[in-house]
């Protein structure tokens, strides 16, 4: 039996108040890099909550913590340091996926004030448009609908409260990610119509779902703090595409980054970013287009043996307490959570052992041994709100 959430949260809070996580990091993971992943940063709560949108206050506290306890560097600099053994103290990288306008309006002023560099991965086909990522259109339609429920593939989703709408949104997102991109887009359109929404509605200025403008990108480039990478052109999961479609998504996004920034595009973020969302052919395509590093959504630290094209990141969501952020950033939460069990009313802690380092192929294969779970068979106690969309 896994550790009960209440006990775990209390333990995290108590440990975070000590210097144990920082000491643990310096002793066990001194030469390993922390990469943090954000999406949207919002000033006001969404009408229907989504894991990907973190509130401004939490974001500011997290950035202040990173500045105090880490050397925060750009992704490209960090990759070079890791490769050359140049990580001698806790180091971190801040990244954002998709490229929301609030990255500029809300996050950038905080980063600029604290002098924290960051990398933003852009869905380039949406820049300077009134369009947005498909899962944002789903969330918007759910927020606006008056329907009490919706049925999808034999499953009935109760939409009678905001919380139930949020759970439905996360569950539907998870299900749709399994589809080829054209089918996904057609299905999301049908769902929005079923919700009495407009699948082509303009995402207006001020909307939390609005994507960055060219002028905002230019200003952040000029600051010297923000670097930009590619995140495909249409936010398509690459493993679901044909070879020709994959080449087009990669080529268009990389070329667009070069045009937007006036600089070569050297980094990439895999949409959704799990092990099943890219493959060796994807990596070869990216390397052929000059990409030097690519990030996943797989959690964990990075060291000199971590493949530069399969870097790990810690996803930061709307439901993450500050104490857990601290433990996560220091790699403490991952090790402790996996090694603590709750048996007969008592905590049982397994011995901590630093994982053996793996080469590119062994990492790729070992990750794919993890069994996949049918999402709709999982109890609601797992929380749909924790589904990650990158």
pLDDT, tens only, 304-333: 889 999 999 999 999 899 988 998 999 876
How many angstroms separate the Cα of 72 from the Cα of each of 223, 268, 305? 16, 19, 21
Q: What is the pTM of this model?
A: 0.84
Looking at the structure, give the CATH architecture of the domain made up of residues 5-129+209-386: Alpha-Beta Barrel (3.20)
Which of 40, 213, 192 has the alpha carbon at shortest distance from 126? 213
Q: Tell me the HSE value of 381 on the side-chain side, using a 13 A CA sphere.
A: 3
288 burial level (CB within 10 Å; 0-12, 13-18, 19+):
exposed
Higher per-residue confidence, 109 vs 345: 109
Mean pLDDT in the chain? 85
Q: Where are the domains of the chain?
A: 5-129+209-386, 134-194
pLDDT, tens only, 65-123: 999 999 999 999 999 998 888 787 889 999 999 999 999 999 999 999 999 999 999 99
pLDDT confidence of residue 6: 62
Phi, psi angle pair for 283, to nearest 5°: -60, -45
pLDDT, tens only, 163-183: 999 999 999 999 999 999 999
pLDDT confidence of residue 31: 78
Q: Lowest-confidence range among 258-262, 291-295, 365-369?
A: 365-369
Pair type for strands 346-349 and 340-343:
antiparallel
Whether residue 364 has pLDDT greater than 50: no
In the chain, what is the straight-line distance between the N-terminal and C-terminal CA atoms, in Å? 30
Whether residue 261 has pLDDT greater than 80: yes
pLDDT confidence of residue 153: 86
Which of 230, 241, 242 has the alpha carbon at shortest distance from 270? 230
Higher per-residue confidence, 117 vs 30: 117
Model confidence band, residue 24 (pLDDT cutoffs 50, 70, 90): low
| Over residues 223-242, mean pLDDT | 97
């Amino acid at each position: 039996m896994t550790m009960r959430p209440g006990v775990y949260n209390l333990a995290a809070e108590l440990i975070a108040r000590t210097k144990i996580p920082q000491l643990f990091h310096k002793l066990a993971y001194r030469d390993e890099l922390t990469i943090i992943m954000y999406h949207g940063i919002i000033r006001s709560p969404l009408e229907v909550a989504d894991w990907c949108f973190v509130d401004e206050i939490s974001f500011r506290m997290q950035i202040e913590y990173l500045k105090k306890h880490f050397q925060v560097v750009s992704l490209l600099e960090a990759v070079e340091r890791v490769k050359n053994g140049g990580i001698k103290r806790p180091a971190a990288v801040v990244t954002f996926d998709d490229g929301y306008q609030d990255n500029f309006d809300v996050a950038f002023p905080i980063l600029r004030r604290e002098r924290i560099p960051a990398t933003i991965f852009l869905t380039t086909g949406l820049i300077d448009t009134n369009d947005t990522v498909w899962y944002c259109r789903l969330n918007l339609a759910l927020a606006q609908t008056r329907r009490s429920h919706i049925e999808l593939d034999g499953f009935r989703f109760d939409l009678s409260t905001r919380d139930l709408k949020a759970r439905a949104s996360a569950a539907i997102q998870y299900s749709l990610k399994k589809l080829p991109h054209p089918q996904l887009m057609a299905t999301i359109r049908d769902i929005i119509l079923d919700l009495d929404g407009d699948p082509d509605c303009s995402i207006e200025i001020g909307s939390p779902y609005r994507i960055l403008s060219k002028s905002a990108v230019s200003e952040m480039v000029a600051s010297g703090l923000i670097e930009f990478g590619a995140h495909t052109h249409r936010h398509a999961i690459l493993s679901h595409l044909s070879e020709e479609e994959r080449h087009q998504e990669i080529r268009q996004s990389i070329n667009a980054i070069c045009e937007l920034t006036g600089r070569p595009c050297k980094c990439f973020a895999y949409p959704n970013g799990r092990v099943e969302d890219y493959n060796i052919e994807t990596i070869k395509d990216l390397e052929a287009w000059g990409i030097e590093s690519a990030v996943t959504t797989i959690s964990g630290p990075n060291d000199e043996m971590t493949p530069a094209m399969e870097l790990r990141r810690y996803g930061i969501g709307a439901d993450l307490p500050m104490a857990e952020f601290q433990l996560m950033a220091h790699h403490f939460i991952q090790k402790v959570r996996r090694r603590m069990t709750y048996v007969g009313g008592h905590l049982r802690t397994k011995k901590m052992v630093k994982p053996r380092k793996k080469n590119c192929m062994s990492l790729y294969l070992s990750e794919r041994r993890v069994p996949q779970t049918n999402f709709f068979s999982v109890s609601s106690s797992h929380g749909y709100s924790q589904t990650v969309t990158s």
